[in-house]
Amino acid sequence: MSGDLVLRGGRVIDPAAGLDTQADVAITDGRIAAIGPGLTGHRVEDVTGHIVVPGLIDLHTHIYRGGTSLALDPLAITRMSGATTLVDAGSAGASNFEGFRDHVIRPAPMRIFAFLNISYAGIFAWKPGLMFGESSDLRLLDMAECLRVVQENRDTIVGVKVRLGSYASGAMGLAPLDMALEVAEAAGVPVMAHIDYVPPTGREVLDRLRPGDVLTHACKGFPNSLLRGDGRILPAALAARARGVLFDIGHGTISFDQDTAARLADLGFVPDFISSDLHAMCVDGERFHLLTVMSKMLAIGVPLAEVIARATATPAAYLRQDDLGTLRPGAVADVTALALDGTALRLAGCWIGGKRFDL
């Protein structure tokens, strides 16, 4: 078996295929052609000593660069983390999604999907010293426009984002969530809910989420933590998970608490998705990109294959992208190569549609 390109000698881990083996990966015409020993190709890249995984998927980023103050350049995110699919979590609203789509999403080499903010403006005024919550004034929440833009962009928009909490929605309580849920219901898409400070409470939000909806910032500390003061999991979180609500890490800056994550993992409550919530305020100093967050999960004892699954197979299935998040023959040749040192993952290379992405 031969291919245009062969990645030779790596340890291939593909949780979707139940694969963890020393093998070559052959790529032809932008698709995975074969996995196995002794493959030959027109070009060969040596990845000996590295872990070769399906192109990573970061379910929570902010990449409407130039359109929103919290956004980062998607190229920079892929360069840091090797994520070949990025999902923007509500940077754009109905008023500016067209700009995001035409100026950022379409020209980008990596794959980009988006949750559309229920707020017409998207996240528009957000920097140190200035936080105007886009859901803090209900006049900004135009349900009809949100629904229209979701319906007109089904190839790209995967759900509705709502940010709740005193930072994001002021004193509006649950009203923005109810509005987002109603739009999502009409469009047949999920909601991703962010929660910061009370009001509302995490319990109130969890009680309203439907199967398939996502709560992000799942490992945040007090307040609105999924852990109670007695070290047990909030019953509302257990009930939500039992009925099919999904949980996303969305690390960000203040949205992740290592002790909370460790305790949740000890209790068997590892979030479904490992994601970065990388934005303009978390790239100075330590960079909390996807590999950093995956490394943190390894450090608290989550097995490697499970960590990889939560940034490949699980989000791909959630996005209904059968061709992504796996290295089975026929899948899109998005591939990430990683170096593992203890529990620290470092990027060694990535390929998008079989083309090496210049780090």
Least spacing, CB of residue 43 vs Zn ion, in Å? 38
Q: What is the DSSP letter of 244?
A: T
Contact set with Zn ion (CB under 5 A): 89, 277
In the complex with Zn ion, the residue whose CB is nearer, 111 or 163, is 163
Geometric angle at alpha carbon 147, from 145 and 149, rounded to 5° = 70
Q: Taking the complex as a whole, how short is the minimal distance between the CB of residue 217 and Zn ion, in angstroms?
A: 8
Quote the least distance from Cβ 117 to Zn ion, whole Å. Answer: 10
Helix, strand, or coil (residue 311): coil
Task: Give me the least distance between CB of 60 and Zn ion, in Å please.
Answer: 6
Distances from the Cα of 280 to the Cαs of 68, 328, 332, in angstroms?
10, 35, 30
* Cβ at position 329, least distance to Zn ion in Å: 35
CB nearer to Zn ion: pick between 142 and 277: 277
Please, which residue, 89 or 174, has the CB nearer to Zn ion? Answer: 89
**CA-wise closest residue to 236 among 180, 171, 190, 245:** 245
d(CA 190, CA 313): 18
At its nearest, how many Å lie between Zn ion and the CB of residue 254? 11
23 by DSSP, 3-state: which? strand
**248 touches 192 (CB < 8 A):** yes
**HEC letters along 40-62:** EEEEEEECCCCEEEECEEEEEEC
Is the Cβ of residue 263 or residue 279 nearer to Zn ion in the bound state? Answer: 279
Q: How far is the CB of 214 from Zn ion (least distance, A)?
A: 12
Distance separating alpha carbons of residues 84 and 153, to the nearest angstrom: 21
> Nearest CA to 334 among 14, 39, 61?
14
Of 191 and 338, the one with the shorter C-beta distance to Zn ion is: 191
Q: Which is nearer to Zn ion, 281 or 340 (CB)?
A: 281
Structure tokens at 67: 């359109």
